[in-house]
Every structure is written in C-alpha cells, then in structure tokens.
Amino acid sequence: MERDKDRKEVYADLELSRLALPRRVYSVSHIEYAIDRIQWLYKHRNLIKGLKFVDEPPVLRFFIGKLEALDNWGQDLVEAFKKEMGDR
C-alpha cells in the first residue's frame, strides 16, 4: 500500500487474502463449490499476470481506483476454464 519518496511501489514480503463467509447464509455445498473454484484458480495461477492502476486517486486508491488487466490474462483464464469444464 505504500510508495517510496519517488512514488514507486514498496512491495510487501508476504501478501495474503482473507475470505470471510457469513456462516448463517451459505450451505456446505456453497462452501465446497467456492473451495473447488479457488483450488482451480490456484492450479492455474501461472495464467494470472496481475493488474495495473489506470486511475489512481491520492487517497483510498485500492478502494476507488480503476485497474486494468496485464496481458489480457482474463481471456486466457476463461479459455482454460472452457477447455476443462466446457461451456457452463
């Protein structure tokens, strides 16, 4: 989240994501489906290239900034999914 004095990214040593689910809303099958999709994404993580800011406000950039995919990797991910799962 930080930038150095030259406005360049300062990368974290470790990046984590939190997945929070309200327990009274979803059934076990919902959770199992989410786990299956997350495992599939992890297996295909080499296809995911990242995002870059195209509009970066000075405050709360991660909440209201606009991002764009690098190298059109989203389409590559869709094609891999269709190849394995078919058109669903």
In this predicted model, what pLDDT tens digit does every residue of 3-55 receive, in sequence order?
777 878 777 788 888 888 887 888 889 889 999 999 999 999 999 998 888 99
Mean per-residue pLDDT for 72-76?
A: 90
Report the pLDDT value the prediction gives residue 57, as an integer from 0 to 100.
83
- Give the largest Cα separation in the chain, rounded: 49
Report the pLDDT value the prediction gives residue 88, as an integer from 0 to 100.
64
Check residue 3 and report its DSSP letter. B
The token pair at 53 is: 């800011």
**3-state SS, residue 9:** strand
**Contact present, 33 and 66 (Cβ < 8 Å):** no
pTM of the model: 0.67
Report the pLDDT value the prediction gives residue 1, as an integer from 0 to 100.
57
